[in-house]
């Protein structure tokens, strides 16, 4: 049966045009990069409980101006109108402990569905911003790992630091300020990637980039694979915006994940009527 897909927000990292060959990244990173597609194929099998804590700060004294907690079901799946596009989906269950009205959730779902993939993406961005505080709208943090997949890894310069690898993107398309404007200003991220003991699973990713007047810092932690053949699962992501000129904290969003359960996502048509 086709399962109604919940909400998402596109977070696009690097793309890469054709160019001359560059020196190969370290062997460990090449193995990690080759494993990225299989990682997401397995991650699609899971649904998790996601707790999103959003804080908007007062710049003058760095105290919390606005605070909000959202609980949602979270999964990675393919966009309904573009079977090749992988996105993060969220179905919001409650805001500050208050359950969302079921009728509103149904209305939001139908607002999401659009006749084209481009229109669908725009409706999802608008919906995410409607639920979130300014500056705290959802980023597709898990999908950031796709920026290190096959064919893109060479867009970064790498430096080994023990089991961590420092990186800086030096070529490719970079991160656009406006996801829907091809002429938008773009920025290159930098940070560190730490691999788990198996050498192919992510353990921690730290990255940052600037956009207009602010700097975004992101930290992603993953739980180690529970057993052979399993994958590292998202555990906690922290995203903060800082004022470039002063370093003052503008907002902070924390994503905590728990209660992972297996669920196979399908986007095909139903072959028959569901049982009554």
Render pLDDT for 47-98 as a digit per residue (tens, 0 to 9).
Answer: 999 999 999 999 999 999 999 999 988 888 777 667 777 778 888 889 999 9
- Cα separation of 95 and 80, whole Å? 26
pLDDT at 242 over 80: yes
Strands (E), the chain: 46-57, 64-79, 82-95, 98-99, 156-161, 164-169, 175-176, 186-187, 190-195, 202-211, 214-223, 233-243, 249-262
Q: How many domains does the structure of the chain reveal? A: 1
Residue 66 lies in a domain: yes
Residue 15 lies in a domain: no
Residues of the domain holding 68: 27-262
Quick one: pLDDT at residue 107? Answer: 63
Residue 274 lies in a domain: no
**Whole-prediction pTM value?**
0.81
Q: What is the mean pLDDT of the chain?
A: 80
Residue 95 lies in a domain: yes
Residue 7 lies in a domain: no
Residue 210 lies in a domain: yes
């Amino acid at each position: 049966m086709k399962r109604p897909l919940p909400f998402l927000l596109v977070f696009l990292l690097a793309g890469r045009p054709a160019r001359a060959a560059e020196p190969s990244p370290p062997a460990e990173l090449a193995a990690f990069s080759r494993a990225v597609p299989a990682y997401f194929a397995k991650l699609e099998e899971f649904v998790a409980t996601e707790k999103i804590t959003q804080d908007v700060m007062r710049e003058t004294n760095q105290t919390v101006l606005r605070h909000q907690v959202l609980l949602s079901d979270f999964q990675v799946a393919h966009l309904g109108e573009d079977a090749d596009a992988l996105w993060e989906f969220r179905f919001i269950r409650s805001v500050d402990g208050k359950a969302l009205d079921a009728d509103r959730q149904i209305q939001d779902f139908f607002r999401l569905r659009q006749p084209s993939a481009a229109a669908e993406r725009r409706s999802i961005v608008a919906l995410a911003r409607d639920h979130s505080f300014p500056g705290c709208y959802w980023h597709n943090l898990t999908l950031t790992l796709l920026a290190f997949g096959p064919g893109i890894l060479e867009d970064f310069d790498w430096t080994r630091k023990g089991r961590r690898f420092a990186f800086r993107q030096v070529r490719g398309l970079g991160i656009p300020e406006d996801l829907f404007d091809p002429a938008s200003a773009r920025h290159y991220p930098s940070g560190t990637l730490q691999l788990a003991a198996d050498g192919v699973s992510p353990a921690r990713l730290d990255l940052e980039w600037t956009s207009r007047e602010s700097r975004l810092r992101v930290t992603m932690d993953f739980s180690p694979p529970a057993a052979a053949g399993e994958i590292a699962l998202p555990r906690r992501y922290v995203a903060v915006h800082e004022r470039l000129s002063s370093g003052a904290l503008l907002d902070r969003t924390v994503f905590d994940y728990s209660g992972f359960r297996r669920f196979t996502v399908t986007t095909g048509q139903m072959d028959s009527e569901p049982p009554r």
